[in-house]
């Protein structure tokens, strides 16, 4: 798993790759030959009975062709990820020294496929469990980890006070990052740029940049020092993690926007969307100057669509929705117009037409309305064309994918394997999470989105995250 695309394997014939075999490395890549030799416990030369690694420039980045005969295992790929995925497939197929004879031609359907490691809030994530998840992610052909360190990053110097007692040490973190990169996983740090900063703003050293002094969760976007502090924290993370193509800047659930007097005045004159965008744009520009793509959660963009008119051109959008479990969907996440809703006729005349998972999701999270009457005019003006032709009974699942794309944005999907509280026989709601990941993956593939990263938020047993890895791998490949 994930299930390969094209498979033709024998149930009867097998190759026995024992110590008489050798690796013939023609890949031209630094460590690919040694990886295969280590996996098979054999040497590297060109003798008969060989594992042949052949560079094929006509293949895409993660594509590979695996051909197994009694006297040769040939792997063809153009880049290191393709060879590493082939090695993962071999690991799945092997029964001791035996491999089934045949061919596998394989490649992914989404470019970015990943899992979130919420190190900040999942306090049970320690070095050993993180590294187990890293290995599982690579073995299942994921290629990205979205890591939110929060106060568990070992900040130093002026910001040393931010690091908690459970912060990972620098040697621990070095081992995690080095192993992830060696296994072909991209590290995408997530550093919140406005909200969800309780771990920072509880310290009196940062009292001057709080938006308000009760919840203490959000930076004041009107205070120039807010951007300065964010940049200094982010710089420490990037200096340690090393080169990153992308950084997630958060930006979700900024519920205190416009609370402080200065922000209140700005929100009244320019609008909440502009207040938000001005601060986010400073963050995006800081990253863009370093040739790093900023990724932002989509909920504020969706609730305040005028924000899109002012958002920095480099910003990429990560669209999250943890409630949609089928396509078409009776449930609509109408941010800015009633939140999670469905048409009330599903409780009467349409009753019985839903899966058990979707029905339970409606009962637990959604509010019944008249979808053809209660959505606001302002909401429909922006989003009606994306909701599909079956309103009010159904809406197109995850309709904002194409909305953001039509505005020129790179878009990633973000379902969850541990988000929002509902349970299944006292366990996390694995049926809802599985359906949510599946529908999101299908729609991202249909829309040709940039990728999908499954989120996980709650301080639960790290072993539960393996479900997110396997489901994401299977449905995105």
CA nearest neighbour of 238 among 289, 305, 273, 300: 289
Per-residue pLDDT reduced to its tens digit, 308-355: 999 999 999 999 999 999 999 999 999 977 689 999 999 999 988 899
Average pLDDT on 121-125 reads 94
CA nearest neighbour of 319 among 424, 454, 435: 454
Average pLDDT on 144-170 reads 98
- HSE (CB half, 13 Å, CA atoms) of 57? 1
DSSP-based three-state secondary structure for 123: coil
Average pLDDT of the residues of the chain = 96
Q: Is residue 64 part of a domain?
A: yes
Cα distance between residue 82 and residue 184, in whole Å = 10
Residue 102 belongs to a domain with what CATH number?
3.30.379.10
Please, where are the H alpha helices in 95-222? 127-139, 170-182, 198-201
Percentage of residues in the chain having pLDDT higher than 90: 96
DSSP-based three-state secondary structure for 345: helix
The domain in which residue 79 lies consists of: 6-106
Per-residue pLDDT reduced to its tens digit, 240-269: 999 999 999 999 999 999 999 999 999 999
Q: Is residue 72 part of a domain?
A: yes
Q: Is residue 216 part of a domain?
A: no
Q: Is residue 146 part of a domain?
A: no
Average pLDDT on 7-25 reads 95
Total number of domains constituting the chain: 1
**What does the pLDDT read at residue 460?**
92
Per-residue pLDDT reduced to its tens digit, 451-462: 999 999 999 999
**Cβ pair 201, 216 in contact under 8 A:** yes
**What does the pLDDT read at residue 48?**
81
Percentage of residues in the chain having pLDDT higher than 70: 100
DSSP string of 381-442, one letter each residue: HHHGGGS-SSTTT-B-SSTHHHHHHHTT--EEEE-EEE-SS-EETTEE-HHHHHHHHHHHHH
As to burial, measured by CB atoms within 10 angstroms (0-12 exposed, 13-18 middle, 19+ buried), residue 466 is: middle
Separation of first and last alpha carbons in the chain: 9
pLDDT value at 282 more than 80 = yes
Per-residue pLDDT reduced to its tens digit, 201-228: 999 999 999 999 999 999 999 999 999 9
**What does the pLDDT read at residue 189?**
98
Q: Is residue 46 part of a domain?
A: yes
pLDDT value at 292 more than 90 = yes
Band of the pLDDT at 441, cuts 50, 70, 90?
very high
**What does the pLDDT read at residue 333?**
97
Band of the pLDDT at 445, cuts 50, 70, 90?
very high
**What does the pLDDT read at residue 420?**
86
pLDDT value at 1 more than 90 = no
**What does the pLDDT read at residue 181?**
98
pLDDT value at 47 more than 80 = no
Sign of the alpha-carbon torsion through 330, 465, 419, 292: negative
Q: Is residue 315 part of a domain?
A: no
Band of the pLDDT at 72, cuts 50, 70, 90?
very high
Per-residue pLDDT reduced to its tens digit, 384-425: 999 999 999 999 999 999 999 999 999 999 999 999 889 999
Element (H, E) at 229: helix 224-241
Residue bearing tokens 């899966």 = 355
Sign of the alpha-carbon torsion through 257, 263, 265, 267: negative
How many angstroms separate the most distant Cα atoms in the chain? 78
Which residues are registered as beta bridge partners of 189? Answer: 147
Q: At what angle do helices 465-476 and 430-447 cross, to 10 degrees?
A: 30
Cα distance between residue 173 and residue 189, in whole Å = 13
Q: Is residue 229 part of a domain?
A: no
Model's pTM, two decimal places? Answer: 0.96
473 or 372, which is more confident? 473
Q: Is residue 29 part of a domain?
A: yes
Cα distance between residue 452 and residue 415, in whole Å = 8
């Amino acid at each position: 798993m994930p299930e390969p695309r094209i498979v033709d394997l024998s149930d009867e014939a097998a190759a026995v790759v024992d110590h008489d075999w050798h690796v013939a490395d023609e890949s031209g890549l630094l460590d690919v030959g040694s990886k295969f030799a280590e996996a098979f416990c054999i040497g590297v030369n060109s003798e008969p009975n060989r594992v042949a690694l052949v560079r094929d420039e006509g293949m895409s980045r993660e594509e590979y062709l695996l051909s197994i005969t009694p006297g040769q295992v040939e792997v063809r790929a153009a880049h290191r990820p393709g060879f590493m995925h082939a090695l993962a497939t071999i690991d799945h197929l092997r029964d001791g020294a035996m491999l089934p004879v045949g061919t596998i031609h394989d490649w992914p359907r989404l470019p970015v496929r990943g899992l979130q490691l919420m190190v900040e809030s999942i306090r049970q994530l320690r070095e050993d469990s993180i590294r187990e998840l890293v290995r599982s992610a690579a073995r299942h052909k994921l290629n990205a980890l979205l890591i939110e360190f929060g106060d568990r990053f070992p900040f130093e110097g002026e910001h040393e006070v931010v690091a908690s007692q459970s912060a990972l040490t620098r040697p621990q973190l070095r081992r995690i990052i080095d192993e992830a990169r060696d296994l072909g996983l991209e590290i995408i740090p997530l550093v919140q740029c406005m909200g969800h900063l309780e771990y920072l703003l509880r310290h009196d050293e940062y009292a001057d940049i709080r938006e308000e002094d009760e919840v203490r969760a959000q930076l004041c976007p009107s205070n120039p020092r807010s951007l300065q502090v964010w940049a200094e924290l982010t710089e420490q993370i990037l200096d340690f993690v090393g080169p990153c193509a992308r950084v997630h800047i958060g930006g979700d659930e900024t519920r205190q926007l416009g609370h402080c007097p200065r922000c209140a005045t700005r929100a009244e004159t320019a609008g909440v969307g502009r207040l938000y965008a001005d601060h986010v744009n400073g963050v995006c520009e800081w990253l863009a100057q370093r040739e790093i793509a900023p990724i932002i959660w989509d909920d504020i963009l969706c609730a305040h669509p005028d924000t899109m008119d002012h958002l920095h051109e480099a910003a990429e959008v990560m669209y999250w929705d943890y409630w949609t479990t089928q396509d078409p969907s009776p449930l609509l996440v109408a941010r800015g117009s009633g939140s999670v809703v469905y048409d009330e006729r599903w409780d009467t005349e349409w009753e019985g037409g839903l899966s058990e998972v979707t029905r339970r999701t409606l009962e637990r999270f959604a509010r019944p309305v008249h979808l053809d009457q209660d959505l606001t005019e302002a909401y429909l003006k922006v989003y009606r064309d994306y909701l599909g032709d079956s309103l009010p009974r159904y809406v197109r699942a995850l309709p904002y994918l194409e909305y953001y794309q039509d505005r020129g944005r790179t878009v990633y999907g973000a379902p969850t394997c541990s988000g929002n509280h509902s349970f299944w026989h006292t366990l996390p709601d694995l049926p809802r999470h599985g359906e949510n990941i599946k529908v999101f993956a299908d729609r991202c593939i249909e829309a040709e989105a940039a990728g999908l990263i499954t989120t996980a938020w709650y301080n639960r047993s790290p072993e539960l995250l393996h479900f997110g890895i396997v489901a994401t791998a299977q449905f995105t490949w």
